[in-house]
Each structure stands twice: as C-alpha cells, then as structure tokens.
Amino acid sequence: MKALVILSGGQDSTTCLFWALERYGAGNVCAIGYDYNQRHKTELDFAKRICDANNVPFTVLQLPVIAELTNNALTNPAIAVDEQKPNETLPNTLVEGRNLLFLTYAAIYAKTRNIRVLVTGVSEADFSGYPDCRDIFIKSCNTTLNLGMDYPFIVETPLMWLTKAEVWKLSQTLGVLEIICTQTLTCYNGIVGDGCGNCPACHLRKKGYEEFICTK
C-alpha cells in the first residue's frame, strides 16, 4: 500500500515520514508540503533535504490564499508570535482551517496517484489548542473525504495520543533521533534545531525533549 505524508519539515511531520517509511517501505512513500506564505517557510527546504536524502518524492503546493483568508502570526509578519499560549484562548499562531485544506489537497493529489493512505502529524495529547488537531476532526474529515471523493482513504495519525516526550522516544526507536534534533525546523521564527527558544512551538519541543532525556 502507498502512503502520502503531509510534511512540513518540523519535528512531528518528519517523525511521521520515517514512521511511514518503516511501515510501508521505501518506494511506497511520498510527501507533500505547502507554501502558504508562512513566516517559517524555510521549513520546506529542510523537508526537501530529508526527502532527497531518503529518496522520497516531495511535492510543494502553493496555497497563498490561506494568508488572504485569515489573519494570524504565521502569515502576517506584523503580528508578533505569542511567547506563551494565552490562558483560555487560542494562540495567535492558529491558522484557521489549515489542516482541513491540507488534508483536502493531499487527498486530491493522492487519489490521482492511486494512494490510499494519508499521514499527518497532528496530536491531541500535547498540542497548542488547535481545533483541527483533534482526533474527532480527523475522523470526521476522513469520512468526508471518502464520501466526497468516493475513495477509501485511510488517514493515519501516528502521533495523535503521544506527548512530545513520546514523540522524541519514537524518533529514537526509528533510529532518527539525531536527524530530528538537528535537521528539522519546528520554530515559528524559522530557526532550525533548537529554534528561537521563545515561541510556543519551541517551548513544546524543548519541554518534551527534557522529559524524554529524564526517562532514558
């Protein structure tokens, strides 16, 4: 069976890429990324490097319309990224409907290439409050895609119930811990590896790594 990984170049999606390679085998995995004028779009360069190094076909789609539809810190450089997630509110890095669009475009791409499995790195166990990272959303989207395209998609979410520490552990189990540490870009401010250390993505990544180290 063939699989298409939605790949940003960050910790989670890159871990999913190697998970898919182990599960479905080299030659059966390809990846898709999106350029939506995000401030950290250099993440796509790192995604391509990792794909090239592992002989994974990688396609980038242009989705600038996302920046036109919603105002947030990831697509509007005039808005400073929240250093901490505000209490009882969604962080200003929320890009409304992003995963819905990503999955829809991935499904269109996959069906025309006879690919059934879509892999995405969303997580409900350790996330920033984004509603489109929830398991109930993914299951609903999977059903909608199947009905709307009359095709038996399987949306895989290998990180759904993993904490960030457990994601680090998974990368170690897959033998790619060093790659995830040094060659992925999770930082919303576009700094590879450990990142800026201030944005919510960096906080989650660092906290998870410290918990992972303590349990080794």
Give the model confidence (pLDDT) of 188-212 as tens digits: 888 999 999 888 889 889 999 999 9
In the structure, what pLDDT confidence band is assigned to residue 126 with cuts at 50, 70 and 90?
low
pLDDT at 40 over 90: no
pTM of the model: 0.94
In the structure, what pLDDT confidence band is assigned to residue 127 with cuts at 50, 70 and 90?
low
| Average pLDDT of the residues in 104-118 | 98
Which CATH number do you get for residue 45?
Answer: 3.40.50.620
Buried b (16+ CB within 10 A) or exposed e, 63-89: beebbeebebbbbeeeeebbeebeeee
In the structure, what pLDDT confidence band is assigned to residue 68 with cuts at 50, 70 and 90?
confident
Helix (H, G, I), strand (E, B) or coil at 22: helix
| Distance in angstroms (rounded) separating the CA atoms of residues 125 and 31 | 24
Q: Which two tokens stand for residue 52?
A: 């090239």
pLDDT number for residue 200: 83
pLDDT number for residue 85: 56
pLDDT at 84 over 70: no
| Average pLDDT of the residues in 76-90 | 73
pLDDT at 160 over 60: yes
| Other beta carbons within 10 Å of 54 | 16
- Tell me which residue range forms the domain holding 46: 3-215
Extended strands (E) in 7-153:
29-35, 58-62, 117-119
Identify whether the C-beta of residue 195 lies closer than 8 Å to the C-beta of residue 201: yes
The pLDDT tens digits for 1-21 are 999 999 999 999 999 999 999
Task: Give the total number of structural domains in the chain.
Answer: 1
